[in-house]
Structure 1
Amino acid sequence: LQLPVVYQKAKEQVVKIWTTLQPLLTVHVGLASSTTLIILEQCGKNKGYQDRDACGFHPEGACCVLDGPEKIESAINMKTLQKSISVEGIDIIFSRDAGRYVCDYTYYTSLYYGSGRAAFIHVPPLSKSVTADFLGKALQTIILAMLEQCGVDHI
């Protein structure tokens, strides 16, 4: 499911995922155009959304959920994950700041409605060294490790 770079639409889709599918874990993947790394995001932040989205809007009160907690941590320990996996050809790092834009907004919303059972991975743009096939295999490795942390056997 591809989410638009629009706060409200992204929120609607994330809420729909949690209310209709009720997944064990939701993994979101976003483009970080200025990186060459894969970035595992640990938490989502509720406030600070001043930048306007693709439609020219920003959230009311510059926050995701009125009266929601300041930040929500993922149930997945991203630092442990980052230390335990490797993908040849690309570095994987850990982050506690998903950027206060639609990616972070989406992540916080998913963590809120999923009670922490969400993950967010920032990926670099496709290039000669980072092909769609390469990135897909890297994401598969990462997501399988996340599921192991959740106590799920390989699918």
Structure 2
Amino acid sequence: MMGVNVTGEIGDMLTMCTPENDMVMTYTPMTKKNVVVTGFGPFRGFEEENPSSLIIDELKATGIDGVNLELHKITVAYEDVSKRVPELWNEHNPDLVIHLGAHPVPKTIKYEQQAFSDGYCSNDVNGCTPEGNRTTCASQDQILKSCINCDELARNVTEICGLDGETKHGGLCVKKSEDPGRYLCGFSYFLSLHQDCSKSLFIHVPAFEGECTKEAVAEVIRETIKSILGIF
């Protein structure tokens, strides 16, 4: 057996391969992703509890590995949304912003691909509408689209969560949508898309019924966030 004291050419080669000092291995932990998730408070049709607000509670209870979640509930009011959305972007420098809102379609989670700048003529919970029925950011665009591919995202999450639209979680499914509406959902989404369309997504969640529970919907939201960030 050859050791480090072997002489000649082989010894010289072994000497070059032998470190003079012990090698110290260091471990650098992965930096967590900053993800802002918002839900809405009560409003017409969901006067008692907004499903999006309950999902915020579920995410707070479970968390997501590798993600620093910043969870916020926003009043269904144009003035509050106009103020809070830009503040959240500035405060947290997020890698991703997810807005959650409720919609009446049962057992269906919708990934909204785009939002609109105007047409916001429905009164909020304070009886107000935005000036000119327009969003309050400086964008000149009428439509802003997320760079997140909602078709692909829906396929990925459907597979990851094993959703079949029939039996799993009472028939829960995920779909792409291109119309978030002209209320606070679309209003908040347009503001975030104006901040950074590569890091913004709005998700409509259904009311909870039967096996389509808040836990089941929260699981889909967690897997959605992980899929967007590439965390597996």
Q: State the TM-score, normalized to the length of structure 1.
A: 0.89
1:121 aligns with 2:192: no
Moved over 3 A (4+): none
Take 1:141 and 1:75, find their aligned partners in 2: how far apart are those partners?
18
Q: How does 1:5-154 map to 2 (within 5 A)?
A: 5-64=76-135, 65=137, 67-86=139-158, 87=161, 88=163, 89=168, 90-148=172-230, 153-154=231-232
Take 1:103 and 1:29, find their aligned partners in 2: how far apart are those partners?
8
Deviation of 1:68 after TM superposition, in Å, equals: 2.7
Deviation of 1:74 after TM superposition, in Å, equals: 0.8
For 1:5, the aligned partner's letter is V
For 2:141, the aligned partner's letter is P
Q: Classify 1:83/1:123 alpha carbon distance in 2 versus 1 (closer, same or farther; 3 Å).
A: same
For 1:106, the aligned partner's letter is S
Q: Which consecutive residues of structure 1, in runs of 5 or more, have no partner in the other structure?
A: none
CA RMSD of the aligned region, Å?
1.5
Deviation of 1:67 after TM superposition, in Å, equals: 4.9
Contact 1:42 1:74 in 2 (8 A): yes
Name which of structure 1's ranges 117-126 and 80-89 shifts more when overlaid on structure 2. Answer: 80-89
Deviation of 1:115 after TM superposition, in Å, equals: 4.3
Deviation of 1:116 after TM superposition, in Å, equals: 4.0
Deviation of 1:19 after TM superposition, in Å, equals: 1.0
Larger RCO of the pair (alpha carbons < 8 Å, separation 6+): 1
Aligned length: 150
- Rg comparison, structure with higher value: 2
Contact 2:110 2:174 in 1 (8 A): yes
SS in 1 for 2:74: coil
Take 2:139 and 2:229, find their aligned partners in 1: how far apart are those partners?
31
For 2:147, the aligned partner's letter is A
Take 2:134 and 2:122, find their aligned partners in 1: how far apart are those partners?
11
SS in 2 for 1:85: helix
Take 1:67 and 1:60, find their aligned partners in 2: how far apart are those partners?
15
For 1:41, the aligned partner's letter is E
For 1:84, the aligned partner's letter is N
Deviation of 1:145 after TM superposition, in Å, equals: 1.1
Contact 1:73 1:116 in 2 (8 A): no
Take 1:138 and 1:67, find their aligned partners in 2: how far apart are those partners?
32
Contact 2:157 2:220 in 1 (8 A): no
Determine what percentage of the aligned residue pairs are the same residue: 26
